Amino acid sequence: MIVLADYNLNRQAILISGSLLAGEWLDLVPIQLITFEGVGLPANSNDRVVWKFAQINGMLLLTANRNAKGGDSLEQVMRKENQPTSFPIITIGDPDRVNESDYRERCVERLVEIVIDIQDYMGAGRLFIP
C-alpha cells in the first residue's frame, strides 16, 4: 500500500518509515510512504487535486489537516466526493508528537492495522491515528 504524506509531513513520514522498517512491519505488510515531491505534486496543490490524485492512484493520504474552510478544503472534498470505494484519509492527531517514540509507535501500529484491513475502511472518509 502506498501512503502519500501531505506536503507538511515530510519529517513525520521519514520517522514513521524508519519505525516501519525497524519494527519489521514491512515483513508483515508492504507499506511505502512517499512525498509530494516523490510523485511530482507541487507543494501548493489544493486539497481537491491531492485527494483525487490519491484516489486515482489507490493511495492512502496521510495528513494533519482537519480544516473545513472553503469548497476545496480536504474536509469539504471528502464530504462531497467520498464513495464506498474511496480510500480513507489518515489524519495524525498530533503531528508534533510523532517525534516521541511511544506516540510514533502507536501511529505505526494503527497505520499497519488500517492497511491490513483496508477493505473494512474503504469509504470511511477520515480515520485518525494513533
Per-residue pLDDT of the chain (130 residues; tens, 9 = 90+): 999 999 999 999 999 999 999 999 999 999 999 999 999 999 999 999 999 999 999 999 999 976 667 777 888 898 899 999 999 999 999 999 999 999 999 999 999 999 999 999 999 999 999 9
d(CA 121, CA 95): 22
What is the secondary structure of 43-102 as a DSSP string?
A: TT--HHHHHHHHHHTT-EEEE------STTSHHHHHHHH--TTPPPEEEES-GGGGGSHH
pTM over 0.85: yes
